[in-house]
A and B are shown apart, each in its own frame.
Chain A
Amino acid sequence: MSSSKKSTLSRRQMLTVMGATGAAAALVACGAATPTAAPATAVPAATAVPPTAAPAATAVPKPTDAPTAVPPTTAPAATATAAPKMVTSGGKQLPADAASADQQVLLYAGAVPGPGQGVDAQITASVYARGGLADLYSLPLNRLSHDFDMVPGSATEWKVSDDGLKWTFTLRKDLPWSDGSGMVTADDFIATFQHIADPKTAYDFTWYWDTGNGNLKGLGEALKGTITPDKIGVSKTDDFTLVVETSVPTPYLPRLCIYMNPFNAKALKASGPKYMNDPKTTISSGPFVITSWDPTRWEATANTKVPDDVKPFFERILSVPYPNGFQAYQAGQIDMSAIGNAADLQTAITDPVLAADIRPDVGDFRTDYFFFDTTVAPFDNAKFREALGHLLDREAIGKNISKLLARPAYSFLAAGFPAANPEGLRDIQSFDVEKAKKAYADSGVKIDKLTLTYRDDYALYEAISAFYADSIKTNLGISVEIKKLPVKDYSAALLAKPSQIPFGAISYGMDYLDPSNMLGVFVGNKKGGRHTWNDTAYQDLLAKAGPMTDIAARTALYQQAEKLMTESFAFVWMVTRTPLNLLKPYMKGEGTLPGKVNKNPGIAWPQLSAMTPYVSSTYIGNNVTKRTIP
C-alpha cells in the first residue's frame, strides 16, 4: 500500500533534514559548554591540608608497647540549653549535636564488588575474601588510634618476657558474646590461632604470622602437617590471660595483633567460621551484629550487649555495592566515599560542595614503585639500572599526573612511617638526565626496546608509565612497550620461576606499622619475598634489626637497609599515595577530627572497622540533610 504524497519525503530530503538537525545540535552543544561552577584556580581550602602532614614519628615504636591509659570514648555532657537528650537503642546517650536516633544510620558503598566480596565477615576467616562490612563483630587484641598508636582492644595490656619470646596479653573481662554464651576469653583466641594454623583451613594470609613476620612458634610446622595445630605457641594461664610465643624475639608482635579478631570458640568448633555470615547463627562481641550478609545488602545493627565504650552511636550500617562509590556519593546515597582517579578528583575540586568534603588521608602508607628483575640482562647491570633510576621526574608526575592523589616518592618508607628517612635518601634517585646518560654509557648495555608491565589496580599507572617510557625514549633512545595485567595474572607472572616480569610497576602498603613489614617485601624471593633482588647484606640487616629492642639501633639498621636498597636501583620509587576521601559534613565524632600527629581530618585507615575505636564514636550530626535511608 502506498503513502499519501503529502506525507512522503524522498530519501534525499530526509538526509538533508537529519544533517541540518545534527549540525544544529552540535552548535548548541559547543555553545553550551560553560561550566556550571567556576573552575577553581587554586586548590580549595579543604584540600589544602598538605598530604605530607603524615605522622611525624620516625622512630621505631617501643618493642614492649605497653599502652598508655586511653580514656574510653564518652559522649560530651549535654548543656542546659542543648537539644533534648537522645539515647540509642543500646542506651548510649547521643552527643548534643547529633541527629535523632532514627538518623543514626551510616550509608556506605561496599567495595567495588570483586571476586569473593561478601564471603567472609572477619579477617581471621579470610583476608582477601572479606565482605563489605567485615571486621565489625569482634575487637582485635589491640587497635590503632588516629595517630597510629596502639590502644587496647580485647586486650587491656600486654608485656613481653625478658628473652623476648613470650608475650602475655591481659584480656578484658567485660566483653560478652551476643548469644549469651559468656565473655570473650583466651580460649577464643587460642581457637582462632589454631584455626589459622590448620592446614584444612587453608588460610590465605599465613605469611603474616609465619617466619619473618609474626614468627608464631610452630606455625610453619603446623601448616606442613608435621605438628597438629594445638601444638603451636598459643596458650593461656587463666581464662583472661593469653600467652603467645614466637620462635625469635619479635618486638613488634603487638602491632600485628590488630588483625587478630577472635572467633567464638564453641561456634567455630561446631560450625566452622561460616557461622558468622549467617544472621541466624552469627555471634558478635564487637560494636555491631550482622543482620544481613547478602551480596546485595550487607547490614549490621548496633550490638546493645557490649560495654558503652564499644557500643556505637550508629543504630545500623548499611553497605550496598553501587556501580561507583564516587557517583553514589554525588547522588547523595552514601555518607562517605573515596576519590579513586584523576577524573573524579577534577570533578571534586571544581565542585564547591564536594571540595569542602575532601579529607586527605595517609592511608596505609602505600608506595608505588618500578622494579627490575636483577637476574636477567640488561637489568642485572647495576649501571643500567642506575641510568633508568635517574630518568623518573617525580616532581613533574606530582604536578601533572598524580596531583593531590599521590606525592613524589624518593624513598620507600613514606614520611611518618617508623624509620622513614625520605630526606636522607632524596638525592640518590634524583631526576638527573646527565647522570642517567653517563651511567648508561658506563654500563656498556646496548638495547633498543624494553617492556614495562604494570599491575592493573591503580588508575595512575597508565599515565605514569607512559611518562616514564617517554623519558627513557627521549634520553636514552630505548623504546618502552607498556603492558598491563590484572592482579591475579600479574601475581602469577611475577612469582613464576623464573619471573616473567623483568620490568614492572607495583605497590605495597603496610599491614602493620613497623619497618619489618614494609622492608620485608624486598627480602628477596629466596627468603619468601616477591622480587628477584636477593641482596645478602640487605637480608642480614633485616635479620639483625628484627629482634632488636633498642629502638635507636633498630631504626638505624632499617635506615641503612633502605639506603642500600635505594642505591642498588633494583627499585625506582615512584609515588606515595595520599588517598582522598569524601566525608559528608554531618559525619561527626572523634575519628573525623585531625589528630595530634596525623593532622589530617577524616576517618583514618583502616576506617570502617573495629580495628580502630572510632567506629564506635562516629555519629550523624544534626546538620544532616535529607537522606533516603533504605
Chain B
Amino acid sequence: MARYLLVRFFGFIFVIVTVSFITFFLMWSTPGGPFDESKMPLEGAAKANILKKYGLDQPFYVQWFKYMVNAVQGDFGTSFQYQTPVKDLFLKFWPNSLLLGVLSLAWSFPVGIIIGVIAALKRNTVIDYFITTFALVTSSLPQFAVIFFALAIFAVWLKVVPYGGWIDRTPDLKVLILPVLIFGMGTVGSLARYTRSGMLDVLGQDYIRTARAKGAKRSVVIFKHAMRNMLVPIVTIFLPTVTNILSGSIYVELGFVIPGVGRFFLLSIFARDYPMIMATVLIAATILSVTYLLTDVAYTLLDPRIRLA
C-alpha cells in the first residue's frame, strides 16, 4: 500500500505540473487580457502600466514559474477582477458551492439508491418502467435548459419560488429549492440506473439464491447480502460526483446567479483573470486526483478480492 501511494503521489505531481502548464499556455495564448478596449484603444503607456500592474509584461514561462512557486506555498495570487487574494475569494465563494452541492447530494443519493433498488425489485413492472424512464430523462436533460424553463414556469409564471436572488450568505430555503433540485437531477438519474443494474446483477447470483433457500428474510437478503456487493459500482460514481460537488456547478451557479466557485471560474475566463483561473484548475485537479485515489482504496475495502497494483 505504501509503495502504491508513493507511486500515485509522483503521478499526482506530474498531473499538476502538466495541467497547470497547459492551462497557463492556453490562457496566455487567448486574445485579450485583463483590460478593456471595447470602447477605444488604450494608449501605449496606459496599456503598459496595466500589464506591469498585473505582472503580464514578463515572458509566459517566467509568469508560469513564478505562479507555481507561489502556489506550492499556498499563495494563489491576487485576482485581477476583485483585487483580492484568490485564497480569500475561495473562502468566500466555496461555502456557497459546498452548500449547494451538499444539499443536492443529501437528496439525490438516497433517492437515487432507493428508487434504483425499487426498480430492481419490481423489475418489468409499471414501477420499474416509470423509474427507468425518469432516470433516463433526468440524467439526459441538459441543466441549462431545465434551469431556463424551471425559472420561467415556477418563478415568473406561477411565482411559487423567488426568481433567483441568492442575496445573502445564508439564503432562505425558497431560493434553494430549484437549484438544489436541478443540481441533483443528473445524479439521481444516473445513480438510479447504476443501482438498478447493479442490484439486478447481484440478485441473480448463486449466493442470493442460497440465502433465500436457507430461509433468510427478504430484508436480510436485500440489505445484508445484495446491497454490500452492489456498492462497488456505486462507489465508482460516488466519489467523482463528490468532486463535481466540491468544484461547483457552472451551469447551476450561472443560471441561478449563485456566488460559487463554478460561476466565478467561468467569469474569470471571460475576464482573463489568470490567477483565479489557475487556482481553480489546480484545486480541481488536486481534488480529482485525491478522489480517484480514495476510490481505488475504497474498492479494496469493499471487496477483498480487489488488490491495488
Contacts and interface: CB of A to CB of B under 8 A. Distances in A.
A328 B155 CA distance: 9
Q: Which residue, of B30, B38, B81, B151, has the highest number of chain A Cβ atoms within 10 A? A: B38
Interface stretch (B125-133, B227-235, B296-304): B125-133
Contacts of B35: 128, 204
Contacts of B152: 327
Contacts of B165: 320, 322, 328, 333, 630
B40 A630 contact: no
A224 B43 CA distance: 10
Nearest to B270: A115
B49 A223 contact: yes
B133 A330 contact: no
A331 B270 contact: no
Interface stretch (A443-451, A473-481, A484-492, A604-612): A484-492
A282 to B, nearest CB: 16
A352 interface: no
Contact of B267 (A115, A199, A331): A115
A201 B53 CA distance: 8
Contacts of A322: 163-165, 257
Contacts of B42: 204, 206-207
B163 A495 contact: no
Interface in A463-517: 486-493, 495-496, 508, 511
B198 interface: no
B41 A207 contact: yes
Contacts of A11: 124
A530 B218 CA distance: 77
Interface string B256-283: 1101000100011011110000000000
A8 B46 CA distance: 75
Contact of A530 (B40, B159, B268): B40
A350 to B, nearest CB: 15
Interface in B120-175: 121-126, 129, 133, 147, 151-152, 155-156, 159, 162-169
Given A3-B125, A116-B81, A295 B162 contact: no
Contacts of B305: none
A1 B272 contact: no
Contacts of B212: 1
Contact of B163 (A115, A202, A333, A493): A333
A488 B268 CA distance: 12
Contacts of B82: 116, 118-119
A628 B163 CA distance: 12
A115 B124 CA distance: 51
Given A223-B46, A320-B167, A331-B156, A495 B125 contact: no
A536 interface: no
Contacts of B49: 199-202, 223
A8 B128 CA distance: 10
Contacts of A511: 39
Contacts of A207: 40-43, 46
Range, interface on chain A = 35 or more
Given A323-B151, A332-B159, A528-B40, A119 B83 contact: yes
A99 interface: no
A532 B201 CA distance: 69
B179 to A, nearest CB: 11
B308 to A, nearest CB: 36
A508 B39 CA distance: 7
B43 A331 contact: no
Contact of A7 (B125, B162, B218): B125
B203 interface: yes
Interface string A216-240: 0000100111000000000000000
Interface in A259-301: 274, 294-297
Contacts of B203: 1
A492 B31 contact: yes
A327 B36 contact: no
A20 interface: no
A3 B36 contact: no
Contacts of A320: 164-165, 167
A331 B163 contact: yes
Nearest to A330: B156
Given A115-B268, A200-B53, A630-B167, 13 more contacts: A1-B121, A11-B124, A115-B272, A200-B49, A201-B49, A327-B152, A327-B155, A328-B163, A331-B155, A333-B162, A487-B38, A491-B32, A530-B40
14 contacts: A18-B133, A114-B267, A199-B45, A207-B41, A320-B167, A321-B257, A323-B147, A323-B257, A328-B165, A488-B31, A488-B270, A491-B37, A495-B41, A496-B31
